[in-house]
Amino acid sequence: MSLPIGVPRGEVAPSPDLAPRQPARRVPWRIILLVAVALVGGLLMVTPFVWAIATSIKPRGALLALPPQLIPSEPTIGPYLEVIRRFPFMRVFGNSVLVALTTTAGQLVICSMAGYAFARFQFRARNALFTLYIATLMVPFAVVITPLFIIVTRLGWGDTYAGLIIPGMFSAFGTFFMRQFFLSIPKELEEAATIDGAGTLGTFARIVLPIAGPALATLAVLSFMGSWNSFLWPLLIINDRDLMTLPLALSTLQGMYPGQTQWNIVMAGTVLATVPTILVFLFAQRWVIEGVAGSGVKG
């Protein structure tokens, strides 16, 4: 394609021999081609989901059909019933909701308050302390994980909700993120509130937090996604099936059947676990994409 770039369609200067042609009626080949390319890529992204759904409604025998059927000839809801029968699915789902919501709520409160302290308070060692926060962002989770496991189990939080939730509530990233936001808003509003006699806590709660809505929403989305999809930590800290979160429970599905993994049942579990995530994403899409694009964090 060697069309001049940036020239609005229909304004290409007609060469003399093409003069009778009407530029506005031309088939927009370029757009069609681009849509086709985007569509092929999009299908590549969607096919695994279609394959998961197709598998999840196949009877066991149809799994071994060659070539595999993308549309099952005898669809059945058997695998879903089997997952729910063999697995406390609602319980696991509830665990994930509980853990993600409380972790997020905790992060919002703790990070916004600490971020505000770093942005507005004057105290000794502030910069040194903030540098320490930033430095911890570089440390991979693998470094922390062994001692963290020992500390949390010594606290008696092995196999408890506390063990799942509390360590996740303190985020150096979240503190940093909120501090940057507070630094970006003008001080005048807060100063006006002080002149009117409001204390720091009152100013923070009534003046600052309401303006911080978008930043809090972004942090909430990232925190929720991170907690919802977290796998390694629950894997280590939870053995009790009644306390498992969705990713952990899913990972045990493939080991539940000695010998051959029953993929229709595994895929039914995967679909059940994934559909709510996707629905929430479609609903909150703008926040999610802006949050991820703006921070470079997957949650």
Give yes or no for a contact between 95 and 244, defined as CB atoms under 8 angstroms apart: yes
Q: Which is nearer to other proteins, 183 or 278 (CB)?
A: 278
Tell me, by CB under 8 A, how many residues bind other proteins. Answer: 106
Told to check if 127 binds other proteins by CB under 8 A, we report no
Chain positions 269 to 298 lying near other proteins, rule: CB under 8 A, are 270, 273-274, 277-278, 281-282, 285, 288-289, 292-294, 296, 298
Chain positions 204 to 223 lying near other proteins, rule: CB under 8 A, are 204
Told to check if 161 binds other proteins by CB under 8 A, we report no
Q: Binding residue for other proteins (CB under 8 A) from 13, 24, 27, 66?
A: 66
For residue 263, the minimal CB distance to other proteins (Å) is 5
Give yes or no for a contact between 96 and 245, defined as CB atoms under 8 angstroms apart: yes
Amino acid at 235: L
Told to check if 248 binds other proteins by CB under 8 A, we report yes
Instruction: Supply φ then ψ for residue 69, to 5 degrees.
Output: -90, 125
Judged by CB under 8 A, the stretch of 18-26, 75-83, 103-111, 205-213 that binds other proteins is 103-111
CA-nearest of 11, 97, 24, 83 to 280 is 97
Instruction: Supply φ then ψ for residue 259, to 5 degrees.
Output: 80, -120
Give yes or no for a contact between 178 and 115, defined as CB atoms under 8 angstroms apart: yes
Chain positions 227 to 246 lying near other proteins, rule: CB under 8 A, are 228-229, 231-232, 235-236, 246
Told to check if 29 binds other proteins by CB under 8 A, we report no
Judged by CB under 8 A, the stretch of 86-94, 180-188, 210-218, 261-269 that binds other proteins is 261-269
Amino acid at 219: L
The alpha carbon torsion through 132, 154, 166, 229 (nearest 10 deg) reads 90
Residues sharing a CB contact under 8 Å with residue 224, sequence separation 6 or more, in sequence order: 100, 101, 103, 104, 299
Judged by CB under 8 A, the stretch of 4-12, 17-25, 77-85, 86-94 that binds other proteins is 4-12
Told to check if 97 binds other proteins by CB under 8 A, we report no
Give yes or no for a contact between 93 and 246, defined as CB atoms under 8 angstroms apart: yes
Judged by CB under 8 A, the stretch of 18-26, 44-52, 181-189, 211-219 that binds other proteins is 44-52
Give yes or no for a contact between 292 and 218, defined as CB atoms under 8 angstroms apart: no
Told to check if 89 binds other proteins by CB under 8 A, we report no
